[in-house]
């Protein structure tokens, strides 16, 4: 099993032998030896469940930095909320009220708020708790524009390729028709977006956002894209609670996947993968109602 080196310590003088740590440990790192809990496993997720559940404050987990989630702009976030203790209606209202924001004010978002959003992002679960995610903050509009320019260059090149019927044919034979599919489904929209940007100065990519957070991964994770997107989800919700607007910008993610030079433009290492780009800013729109959704019919599997 993958995990951190075991760096968990149990103080035998404090342990009262309740066994709670053994019950919550996902990697069987701890065992009861008589009346005392002991670290006996060779692997640990480093999740900290044991120390969080211990009623005797007997456990320290070296892999965890208890200060890592301390926020600069939000207070009173330390106390644990047991299941059922939070106001579900308030949470659902928050979730339903978050909307992708495509109109922003020019006022920048404070750097410490963006850093807090990243810390909040890391409250997400991650496969085997490996937390191999990366976060890159672009705190200024000029940096967001630098990323936009790199993305623009990629799509201009892609458009030239997709305009070429011979390349589309080659793509159909050798590349699962990716160029043809782009040509049919996206090229017109992208071309129009580029035209309005160049001719009218309308930013259809970042929608005028003053900042952005890129969520990526370092090599080695078991499910890096899922980890990054879950972290992004936390950021989107927290940003809404803080009064900020956000929008995921998939067009930039796609460009960065294919053109490494865009990563270099903003100082991101080649080995990192970018899974989400979040435009962030002070919103300049006023909704009167929360979002609706298409109705879904979940499949309920019967036990009969
Ligand atoms: C993976 C992903 C990529 C997206 N890419 C873009 C994008 O490039 N530009 C954009 O304006 N919106 C983008 N969106 C936002 C979606 O259009 C938006 O979430 C959807 O229309 C639902 O609206 P809501 O977020 O307001 O609920 C993206 C959303 C997701 C989940
Ligand atoms: S949870 Fe704490 S007190 Fe209970 S067995 Fe584990 S170390 Fe001992």
Residue 1 has what pLDDT? 44
Q: Ligand 2 center to residue 221 CA distance, Å?
A: 30
CA of 29 to the centre of ligand 2 (A): 13
User: What per-residue confidence (pLDDT) applies to 208?
Assistant: 97
Write the class of the CATH domain 8-61: alpha beta
Whole-number Å distance between alpha carbons of 165 and 183: 10
In short, whether 250's Cβ falls inside 6 Å of ligand 1 is yes
Tokens 């956000």 sit on residue: 246
**pLDDT at position 4:** 67
Which pLDDT does position 67 carry in this prediction? 87
Residue spans per domain, the chain: 8-61, 82-291
Q: φ, ψ for residue 281 (rounded to 5)?
A: -175, 180
| Residues with Cβ within 8 Å of residue 216, at least 6 apart in sequence | 133, 134, 135, 136, 228, 268, 272, 273, 274, 275
For the chain, the farthest-separated pair of C-alpha atoms sits apart, in whole angstroms, at 76
CATH number of 82-291: 3.40.109.10
Which ligand places an atom closest to the C-alpha of 290? 1
Whole-number Å distance, alpha carbon 255 to ligand 1 midpoint, is 16
> Please, what are the averages of pLDDT over each run of 10 residues along the chain (304 residues)?
76 97 95 97 92 97 89 94 97 96 98 98 95 97 97 96 94 93 95 95 96 97 96 98 98 96 96 98 96 93 90
Tell me the whole-structure pTM to 2 decimals. 0.94
From 134, 151, 234, select the one nearest 194 (Cα to Cα): 151
Contact 249, 278 (CB under 8 A): yes
Burial 151-182 (b: 16+ CB within 10 A, else e): bbebbeebbeebeeeebbeebeeeeeeebbbb
* Rounded CA separation 182/159 (Å): 9
Cα–ligand 2 centroid distance for 28 (angstroms): 14
- Alpha carbon distance 219, 60 (integer Å): 28
186, two tokens? 């996206």
- Tokens 């903003």, residue located: 266
Q: Is the shortest distance between the CB of 100 and ligand 1 below 6 Å?
A: yes
- Classify the phi-psi angles of 48: left when phi > 0, otherwise alpha if psi is within -120 to 50, otherwise beta: left
CA-CA distance, 204 to 252, in Å (whole number)? 12
Assess whether the C-beta atom of 61 lies below 6 angstroms from ligand 2.
Answer: no
Q: Find the DSSP H helices in 34-140.
A: 49-53, 88-97, 111-121
Rounded to 10 degrees, the C-alpha dihedral 113/117/120/122 comes to: -130
């Amino acid at each position: 099993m993958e995990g951190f080196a075991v760096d968990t310590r149990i103080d035998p003088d404090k342990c009262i032998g309740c066994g709670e740590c053994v019950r919550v440990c996902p990697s069987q790192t701890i065992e009861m030896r008589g009346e005392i809990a002991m670290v006996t496993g060779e692997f640990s997720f480093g999740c900290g469940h044991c120390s969080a559940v211990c009623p005797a404050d007997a456990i320290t987990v070296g892999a965890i930095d208890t200060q890592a989630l301390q926020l600069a702009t939000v207070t009173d976030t330390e106390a644990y909320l047991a299941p059922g203790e939070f106001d579900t209606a308030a949470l659902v209202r928050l979730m339903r009220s978050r909307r992708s924001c495509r109109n922003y004010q020019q006022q920048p978002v404070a750097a410490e708020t963006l850093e807090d959003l990243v810390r909040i992002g890391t409250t997400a679960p991650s496969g085997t708790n490996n937390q191999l995610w990366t976060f890159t903050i672009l705190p200024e509009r000029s940096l967001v524009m630098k990323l936009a320019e790199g993305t623009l260059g990629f799509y201009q090149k892609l458009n030239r390729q997709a305009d070429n019927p011979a390349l589309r044919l080659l793509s159909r034979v050798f590349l699962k028709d990716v160029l043809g599919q782009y040509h049919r489904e996206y090229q017109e929209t992208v071309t129009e977006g580029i035209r309005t940007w160049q001719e009218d100065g309308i930013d259809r990519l970042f929608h005028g956002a003053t900042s952005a957070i890129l969520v990526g991964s370092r090599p080695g994770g078991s499910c890096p894209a899922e980890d990054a997107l879950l972290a992004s989800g936390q950021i989107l919700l927290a940003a809404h609670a803080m009064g900020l607007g956000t929008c995921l910008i998939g067009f930039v993610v796609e460009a960065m996947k294919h053109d490494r030079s865009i990563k270099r433009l903003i100082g991101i290492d080649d080995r990192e993968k970018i899974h989400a780009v979040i435009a962030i800013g002070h919103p300049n729109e006023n909704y009167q109602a929360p979002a609706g959704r298409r109705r879904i019919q979940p499949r309920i599997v019967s036990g009969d």
